[in-house]
Amino acid sequence: MYGELQTLKTKDGQEIQGFPVHILRPEKFAVLRLPRNDEMIEYLEKQRSLYRDLGGRKGEPESVPNPQADLALFHKLRLDKPSDASQEFDAAEAGKALALITRQKIDSCQREGDGFRITLKTMFGPTVHVIKIPFEKDLSLYRSTVYKSRDLPHNLEERRFPPDAPVRLYDSAIESIAGYTPDFKPADVPPHHKAAVVFELVSAINDLDPALDPNF
């Protein structure tokens, strides 16, 4: 269940609840807590990608690493104190740790009444989101704000995906959630979960709309 953390014993004998991370070489261990929503939003706001126009209506996306953001969030989440310098994580190791604790994948999306039941897999188990089809005004706002672009030299475009766009649409349409600890309310669902659910929701809505069929 998302929100439940293991009770772990650190090398200095402390017992803490957290998410264990193990780096194989050189061998390192760390214990993380779950990120708060404000921390995750700040992290997501620092992410960007590049899109290269290849001509002929073809393009190539490229993610851009942000090792400073990875390290900053990792240090906020780390609960254990490194026993010595050999247990300090570098940017690549911090990035792996964050990728693990935030890992998610859409498992299913089923039509239900005037909405959808979307199941999202996480490292802590599946979560279920029952969400209505949004109003057109809310969809229009989402589509106009889902990403910001900036032209760069050499046929490149920088793209940023503000987390407030999917969060706003999710909050306007969500009916119920499951798979989270009882203290979680829909507003408390992590922003990266909301973004994944909204992306799947909008994709499913597009599949229902013949006006969006490129072959029509």
The string of DSSP codes covering the chain is -BT--EEEE-TTS-EEEEEEEEETTTTEEEEEPPPPHHHHHHHHHT-EEEEEEEETTEEEEEEE--HHHHHHHHHHHB-SPPSSGGG---HHHHHHHHHHHT-EEEEEEEEETTEEEEEEEETTEEEEEEEEPPPHHHHHHHHHHS-EEEEETTTEEEEE--THHHHHHHHHHEEEEESB-TT--GGGS-HHHHHHHHHHHHHHHHHH-GGG-TT-
pLDDT at residue 211 in the model? 62
Q: Are 40 and 109 in contact (CB under 8 A)?
A: no
What average pLDDT is seen over the chain? Answer: 93
pLDDT at residue 18 in the model? 96
- Would 139 be classed as within a structural domain? yes
- Would 165 be classed as within a structural domain? yes
pLDDT at residue 212 in the model? 55
- Would 204 be classed as within a structural domain? yes
Torsion, CA 209, CA 194, CA 69, CA 158, rounded to 10:
10
Q: With a cut of 50, which residues of the chain have pLDDT below it?
A: none
The model's pTM is: 0.91
pLDDT at residue 215 in the model? 53
CA–CA distance, 13 with 97 (Å, rounded to integer): 22
- Would 1 be classed as within a structural domain? no
- Would 207 be classed as within a structural domain? yes
- Would 86 be classed as within a structural domain? yes
- Would 131 be classed as within a structural domain? yes
Count of domains observed in the chain: 1
For the chain, the first-to-last Cα distance in angstroms comes to 43
121-162 confidence digits (pLDDT tens): 999 999 999 999 999 999 999 999 999 999 988 889 999 999
- Would 52 be classed as within a structural domain? yes
Torsion, CA 206, CA 210, CA 213, CA 215, rounded to 10:
160
Annotate 193-216 with DSSP letters as a single string: HHHHHHHHHHHHHHHH-GGG-TT-
Q: What domain range is 72 assigned to?
A: 6-212
